[in-house]
């Protein structure tokens, strides 16, 4: 039997980061940046107004109050997008809109709320210090500054940043394309009726969603019947569009272990010292990593988080980590099989405690769906007491 760490190490030794490619900005959403991005210009690129109001020489309105307002002639009107804005001199002002370039000569903006809003001339009721309500060129980002480092995931703010520095395309590691196939004669599509002995296929939906959570693109294939030649044919057909393939079911010790039959000799099938998820298979098929996970839904899910997620991260050039790990205090004692790393389903409660689910069967989706953490009990522990600190993984 392999340890969890040995099996994970074998997987990580076999997977490679995907080759970076240039994508249009919106296609790059959710991918991992593969180049440093610097600003070719300062941001903002020019001094501009932070308010709708009047661009003035601050010294002209130094004494302005409601009792002693200052009235200035309005010599112009500057809107965002105006080019060729004329300079002003002391004793005059111009109306200005948010984002409009500040005219040369002006050194402050008086918000419209502090004035009578005049168009030909304006009465100003408050003084402003020099620089007031002016957004200075470069105060956000300096010219040449690196705004995004390689390795960041491009979420909405990062996509916005790229656009703000003028980038239309960007070099990224793409989302791994992952084909998800389930196997089992008993499986039916959700939405279709069940005959006695049949169940709805949950694994392929759950694992496809998990692929997305891990940064990949999942392609779900409808369930395959338990016939090794059909499984092999479907796998080969899917390989062309896949950076990785995940199957579920058909890898344990029964009579219908089709995935094992189909891929024996190509993949390595092993028992891994863990619960749930003992029967595992992994290998390269025509150079494509293939993960064969066990069929019980909780086993498939835990196996995904333990082995597949780190591999998908490595393919994106990210540290091959499990979901966000931490510690919590056990609210109840737990038992654990000797020699196996045990991933129990639990719920985090206030105050840093975690309550193990009472249903810990590998078929018990109810407990998994209600869980927000896995509790990781090390191999050498057969029981842990309430109040003990334990490793937990927050579920994505």
Single out the residue of 20, 174, 184, 310 in contact with Mg ion (rule: CB under 5 A): 184
Q: Which does 297 bind (CB under 5 to 8 A by kind): ligand AMP, Mg ion, none?
A: ligand AMP
Distance of CA 117 to the CA centre of its chain: 47
CB nearer Mg ion, residue 69 or residue 361: 361
Tell me: does residue 179 bind ligand AMP (CB under 6 A): no
CB nearer ligand AMP, residue 94 or residue 247: 247
CB nearer Mg ion, residue 30 or residue 249: 249
Single out the residue of 252, 266, 270, 355 in contact with ligand AMP (rule: CB under 6 A): 252
Cα–Cα distances (Å) from 309 to 11, 65, 80, 148, 299, in that order, read: 11, 64, 47, 24, 14
The half-sphere exposure of 213 on its side-chain side, counting CA atoms within 13 A, is 18
Tell me: does residue 297 bind ligand AMP (CB under 6 A): yes
Q: Which does 176 bind (CB under 5 to 8 A by kind): Mg ion, ligand AMP, none?
A: none
Tell me: does residue 270 bind ligand AMP (CB under 6 A): no
Residue 258: which of 237, 235, 283, 287 has the closest Cα?
Answer: 235
CB of 380 to ligand AMP, least distance (A): 28
- 317-351 burial by CB neighbour count: b if 16+ within 10 A, else e? bbebebbeeeebebbeebebeeebbbbbbbbbeee
Pairing of strands 177-183, 217-224: parallel
CB nearer ligand AMP, residue 163 or residue 194: 194
CB nearer ligand AMP, residue 184 or residue 215: 184
Tell me: does residue 346 bind ligand AMP (CB under 6 A): no
CA–CA dist 112, 348 (Å, integer)? 51
CB of 290 to Mg ion, least distance (A): 17
CB nearer ligand AMP, residue 54 or residue 304: 304
Pairing of strands 279-285, 53-56: unpaired
Tell me: does residue 323 bind Mg ion (CB under 5 A): no
Q: 276 with 345: CB under 8 angstroms?
A: no
Single out the residue of 295, 322, 346, 356 in contact with ligand AMP (rule: CB under 6 A): 295
CA–CA dist 132, 346 (Å, integer)? 54
Q: Which does 182 bind (CB under 5 to 8 A by kind): ligand AMP, Mg ion, none?
A: ligand AMP
CA–CA dist 272, 264 (Å, integer)? 17
Tell me: does residue 322 bind Mg ion (CB under 5 A): no
Tell me: does residue 379 bind ligand AMP (CB under 6 A): no
Task: Scan for tokens 């984002």, then name that residue.
Answer: 99
Q: 243 with 288: CB under 8 angstroms?
A: yes
CB of 349 to ligand AMP, least distance (A): 29
* Helical (H) or strand (E) element with 13: helix 4-14
Single out the residue of 20, 249, 289, 322 in contact with Mg ion (rule: CB under 5 A): 249
Q: Which residues contact 62 (CB under 8 A, 6 or more apart)?
A: 127
Question: How many amino acids of this chain bind ligand AMP (CB under 6 A)?
Answer: 18
Q: Which does 201 bind (CB under 5 to 8 A by kind): Mg ion, ligand AMP, none?
A: ligand AMP
Single out the residue of 31, 208, 247, 248 in contact with ligand AMP (rule: CB under 6 A): 248
Distance of CA 13 to the CA centre of its chain: 24
Tell me: does residue 297 bind Mg ion (CB under 5 A): no
CB of 184 to Mg ion, least distance (A): 4
Angle 343-379-352 (CA atoms, 0-180°, nearest 5)?
50
Tell me: does residue 322 bind ligand AMP (CB under 6 A): no
Single out the residue of 204, 208, 280, 336 in contact with ligand AMP (rule: CB under 6 A): 204
Residue 291: which of 314, 270, 308, 276 has the closest Cα?
Answer: 308
Cis peptide before 276 (omega within 30 of 0): yes
CA–CA dist 168, 171 (Å, integer)? 11
CB nearer ligand AMP, residue 248 or residue 336: 248
Cis peptide before 94 (omega within 30 of 0): no
CB of 390 to ligand AMP, least distance (A): 28
Tell me: does residue 364 bind ligand AMP (CB under 6 A): no
Chain contacts with ligand AMP (rule: CB under 6 A): 182, 184, 186-187, 199, 201-204, 248-250, 252, 254, 294-297
Chain contacts with Mg ion (rule: CB under 5 A): 184, 249-250, 295
């Amino acid at each position: 039997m392999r340890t969890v760490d040995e099996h994970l190490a074998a997987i990580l030794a076999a997977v490679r980061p995907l080759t970076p490619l240039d994508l249009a900005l919106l296609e790059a959403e959710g991918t991992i940046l593969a180049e440093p991005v610097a600003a070719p210009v300062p941001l903002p690129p020019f001094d501009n107004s932070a308010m709708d109001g009047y661009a003035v020489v601050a010294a002209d309105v130094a004494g302005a109050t409601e009792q002693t307002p200052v009235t200035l002639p309005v010599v112009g009107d500057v809107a965002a997008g105006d080019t060729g804005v004329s300079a002003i001199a002391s004793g005059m002002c111009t109306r200005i809109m948010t984002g409009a370039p500040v005219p040369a000569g002006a050194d402050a903006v008086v918000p419209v709320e502090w004035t009578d809003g005049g168009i030909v001339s304006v009465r100003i009721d408050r003084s402003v210090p020099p620089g007031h309500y002016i957004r200075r060129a470069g105060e956000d980002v300096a010219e040449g500054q690196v705004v995004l480092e390689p390795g960041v995931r491009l979420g909405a703010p990062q996509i916005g940043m790229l656009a703000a520095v003028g980038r239309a395309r960007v070099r990224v590691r793409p989302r791994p394309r992952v084909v998800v196939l389930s196997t089992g004669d008993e499986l039916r599509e959700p939405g279709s009726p069940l005959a006695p002995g049949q169940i709805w296929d949950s694994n392929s939906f759950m694992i496809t969603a998990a692929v997305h959570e891990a940064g990949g693109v999942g392609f779900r294939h409808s369930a395959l019947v338990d016939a090794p030649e059909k499984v092999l044919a479907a796998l080969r057909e899917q390989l062309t569009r896949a950076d990785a393939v995940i199957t579920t079911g058909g890898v344990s010790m029964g009579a219908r272990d089709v995935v094992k039959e189909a891929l024996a000799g190509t993949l390595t099938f092993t028992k891994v010292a863990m619960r749930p998820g003992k029967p595992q298979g992994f290998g390269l098929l025509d150079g494509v990593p293939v993960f064969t996970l066990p069929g019980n839904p909780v086993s498939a899910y835990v196996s995904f988080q333990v082995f597949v997620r780190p591999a998908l991260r490595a393919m994106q050039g990210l540290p091959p980590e499990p979901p966000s790990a931490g510690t919590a205090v056990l609210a109840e004692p737990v038992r654990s099989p000797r020699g196996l790393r045990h991933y129990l389903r639990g719920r985090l409660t206030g105050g840093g405690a975690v309550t193990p689910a009472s249903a810990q069967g590998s078929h018990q989706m109810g407990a998994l769906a209600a869980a927000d953490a896995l509790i990781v009990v090390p191999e050498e522990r057969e029981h842990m007491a309430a109040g003990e600190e334990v490793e937990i993984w927050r579920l994505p």
